[in-house]
Structure 1
Amino acid sequence: MLTFKMKQLAGMSATGFEQACADLLARDGFRSTRRVGGAGDLGVDVTARDDDGRLLILQCKQYQNPVGSGHVQKFNGTARLHHGADLPVMIGLNGFTQPAVDFAQYHQLILMGRPELKKWAHGQHLYDVLGIENSTQ
């Protein structure tokens, strides 16, 4: 089973971190998993579909500091409206500021901080970590 240590994730390039997240989705059985990050990606680093056909959009932030509200607001503006995400998930290697958390809760964005990322990277299914219902589990 594919797993990563937090130190490995922290030491990767931005592209490597995105690819690691895509690989973890594939490990969890998601389909059509694609890393699309890069300049002009409009806030999407990885896309995948679950067994229910729901579109998962990941935005992966590997910052040294917690992710601020501005980044979460930008993601909110593109994840559903532009990309049609059913499940918009933003990953923050070092967590999120309180204003970012408050904004995400209000707009029903899924934030995945360090504790959740660690569980996922160490082998737990993404939906178990995030408490998301999945008909096939």
Structure 2
Amino acid sequence: MVRRKKRSIWGSLIIIVLFALFYNIILGLALIACLIGIGYWWFKKKYLIRVSTINELMNLSPSEFERAIATLLTDLGYRDVKVTGGAGDLGRDITCRDMNGRTVMVQCKRYSRNHPVGSPEIQIFIGMLITEYKADRGIYVTTSYLTQPAMKLAHKHGIEVWDRDRLAD
């Protein structure tokens, strides 16, 4: 006849004692994990703005418009996307890096269709891009259009233009 091995109560007792001793730590770690999850959800809800039509873009406040463009840049693969706009932003609403690691400066203008962007605004953007920020690339985003001279100037200096038509795509 085969004898059964006697079970030791010590293994179970050690587990129960350890759990009792470290219960607060385990509970604290679970609480921290929950708070991190809630914080991430809140961050995405507050800072990531996705829109699907030009009319939705037009209904955003200027700061929400900048965040929507920052979200679009992130979705397109740009890295280190930071919204820097606001009063006194000196022509820079968003900074980021493209897929090749080059520094990109973005200017966002939420204008009505009847308010085209003129050459003076592009001149200011180019000047700040080159002298103040020394960025490798520039993107000018507007919910309107550029005048013909402004468009020529932007292309001459390698500024990528995202106008109303491009945003609608």
Which of the five TM-score ranges fits, normalised by the shorter chain?
Answer: 0.7 to 0.9
What value does the CA root-mean-square deviation take over the aligned residues? 1.3
Q: 1:29 to 1:105 in 2, by over 3 A?
A: closer
| Correspondence for 1:79 | 129
Q: 2:130, 2:64 → 1: CA distance? A: 25
Task: Provide, for residues 41-66 of structure 1, a one-character-per-residue CA deviation record: whole Å limited to 9, x for no partner.
Answer: 11000111123111111101111111
Q: 1:28, 1:35 → 2: CA distance? A: 16
SS in 1 for 2:108: strand
Q: Of Structure 1 and Structure 2, which has the larger fraction of its residues in helix? A: 2
Normalising by structure 1, report the TM-score.
0.80
SS in 2 for 1:85: coil
Q: CA contact under 8 A between 1:80 and 1:88: conserved in structure 2?
A: no
Shift of 1:3: 4.6
From 117, 128, 134, the equivalent of 2:167 is 117
Alignment of 1:30-45 (within 5 A): 30-45=78-93
Q: 2:67, 2:116 → 1: CA distance? A: 21
1:10 aligns to 2:58 (yes or no): yes
Q: 2:142, 2:117 → 1: CA distance? A: 6
Higher relative CO (Cα under 8 Å, sequence separation at least 6) belongs to: 1
Higher-Rg structure is 2
Q: 1:50, 1:106 → 2: CA distance? A: 20
From 124, 132, 139, the equivalent of 1:89 is 139
SS in 2 for 1:96: coil
Q: What amino acid is the match of 1:53? A: G
What is the aligned residue count? 118
